[in-house]
Structure 1
Amino acid sequence: MLPYTAYLRVYQPITAFSPRDRRHWEGYAESADRPKRVNALAAEHAESLGRTIATPPVVAPSEESGDAYLRRVNERLYVCPWQTRLRCWRAFEEFAGSMPRAQLEAFVPAREADRAETGYRQWRASGAEARPGILSSTWTIPIPWFVAFEPQERCLVLSAGRTRTLLYLTRTAQARRRLDHTAAVLRERVGEHAVSAAAERLTEWLATTAHPESLLELDYGGLPHLLSDDHLSEDHSVGEVAEAVEALAKGDAARVKELRERLTRRWRSVRALEHAN
């Protein structure tokens, strides 16, 4: 888990959990010891850093996290469990599959890699649900994530202290309708190939992960700490993507091109910071 990462989170209504889990999360919400909303991401990063700098590094905790992100909307509690162990397992599986085993051992000792792989394999064999409620993206935000939201759902907080936040919050049902609408426009105006694999994976993830009454949150996470106040204030990527979709539906190719170039310039400048000295 890196500091310059954005997140897409599904918040399930408390009624979506089993009675046992419901009691846990209701008690957690009332606890004075849990990380509060403003500090939760920093607490999650600190926990991850502790495992990374350990000797040897720890790929995944031995037990699943009991922490969560919480929201209350109209007095109703919504919960997004951290699922730290599951997310670490999945991230390591992807990382390990991207390089030869001998090269992998330069990052993670073979014994620790075997421990993580065995733990994940046994967990899946038990029939446990293998889908996380949080997706992450480092140094950039995938375009399909923007499609799920509308401009009026934006929340920007800038302060002289550590609080710098840009996020969007919507009903998951609304997000799915927007994704379906965009896919339909792309298929009609451009062709079947225009709907990206990333958009299809996002739609499928929401269909199989999210409760019908859940919430979906796009959190710029650590990215605001890289960017100036002006950059964040002028970042209306969600609105620009929505406008581009409607321009495409109307056949306004010039406006689509203009908006696409604006988005490309903005996010190219952010991605370039990954390689800055």
Structure 2
Amino acid sequence: MLPYAAYLRVYEPLTAFPESERKVWAEYADSRDRPRRATALNAEHGESVMRLLGTPPHPVPAQESPNAYLRRVEDRLYVCPWQSRLRSWLAFSRLRGATPVKLMDLLVPKTIAEQTADDFDKFKRSAGSSGLRTHIRTTAWHVPPSWFVPFDGNERWLVLGSATPGQDVTTTTGRNLIYVTSMAQARRRAARALQVLRRHLGEEVSADFDVEDVARWLEEFHPHSLVELDYGGLVHLMDDDALQADQSVAELAAALTGLDTGQEELAYAMYQRVILRWKSMQLLESAN
């Protein structure tokens, strides 16, 4: 079972990478042994589980992952590196900062936790701020409202999968809900949303929506990149009717338009639909 997580990814064109990396990714794309899109999440999750189940556990891979998610548009190759080591370091740092020391010592032996932190500090000193840029953002048990902003409802791609008799439809393979757009469109929509929020709600309130954070992150990448929102393992928490009814991107866009045109009741109603849908999803984290 995949983790109940969603992903926001940026795929950069091959030409955006340094010359030394272009050949590596071009050869990788032609390889028959690389994980395919249909099994990539399983492979990525499997690697992390094996590390954490080891004795002692290893919260961070010893080497950076050689894998990536790929997209082709006509003859152009787009690459989204997994960056499993960097993402694990960042996640471990957040976990360590938010977890009481005694509980953290039970999760990961103190010596390993300290070594992991030291290794990350060395990496940061050598790589600089640009070396901390990740192509993938992850969130568990929900999709933040700000993640819907870069997309349009017409960019929605839904695959329900097919269940065998007696099988729960949420466990079918091939189940996906994905949005994909160009970087230019993503930046334009994020900028517009930020302007609307600031104009009508003010700087302090608009900051709570994290749209500015997403907009700044998008600016770090090549202008001809692709941006993807993948519901990932969250699709296994939703039945077919719930997935088909999920129009969070369109609803949030309608809320922003309503706010900007003085239709406050429409804006509130659309925003509440999005918020309540995902709050109910988050509550499943503490269900038993």
In 1, are the aligned partners of 2:193 and 2:211 still within 8 Å (CA)? no
Q: TM-score, normalised by structure 1?
A: 0.96
Q: CA deviation at 1:19?
A: 1.4
User: 2:139 corresponds to which residue?
Assistant: 137
Residue 203 of structure 1, aligned match among 198, 202, 215:
215
The one-letter amino acid paired with 1:203 is A
- Say whether residues 1:223 and 2:254 are aligned partners: no
Corresponding residue SS for 1:24: helix
Q: CA deviation at 1:115?
A: 2.0
Q: CA deviation at 1:21?
A: 0.7
- Say whether residues 1:34 and 2:34 are aligned partners: yes
- 5+ residue gaps, structure 2, are 163-171
Q: CA deviation at 1:99?
A: 2.6
- Say whether residues 1:175 and 2:186 are aligned partners: yes
The one-letter amino acid paired with 2:244 is S
Structure 1 residues 112-191: aligned runs within 5 Å: 112-128=112-128, 129-160=131-162, 161-191=172-202
The one-letter amino acid paired with 1:41 is L
Q: CA deviation at 1:267?
A: 1.1
The one-letter amino acid paired with 1:86 is L
Runs of 4+ in 1 over 2 A off after TM superposition: 99-103
Q: Provide the rounded CA distance (Å) in 2 between the counterparts of 1:255 and 1:37.
A: 38
User: 2:80 corresponds to which residue?
Assistant: 80
Work out the percentage of aligned pairs sharing the same amino acid.
45
Number of positions where the alignment pairs a residue of Structure 1 with one of Structure 2: 275
Q: CA-to-partner distance for each residue in 1:71-90, whole Å, 9 max, x for gaps?
A: 00122000000000000000
Q: Provide the rounded CA distance (Å) in 1 between the counterparts of 2:272 and 2:126.
A: 48
In 1, are the aligned partners of 2:149 and 2:211 still within 8 Å (CA)? no
Q: TM-score, normalised by structure 2?
A: 0.93
Q: Provide the rounded CA distance (Å) in 2 between the counterparts of 1:76 and 1:131.
A: 23
- Say whether residues 1:243 and 2:269 are aligned partners: no
> Superposition RMSD on alpha carbons, in Å?
1.2
The one-letter amino acid paired with 1:270 is M
User: 1:261 corresponds to which residue?
Assistant: 272
Q: Provide the rounded CA distance (Å) in 1 between the counterparts of 2:146 and 2:207.
A: 9
In 1, are the aligned partners of 2:152 and 2:250 still within 8 Å (CA)? yes
Corresponding residue SS for 1:106: helix
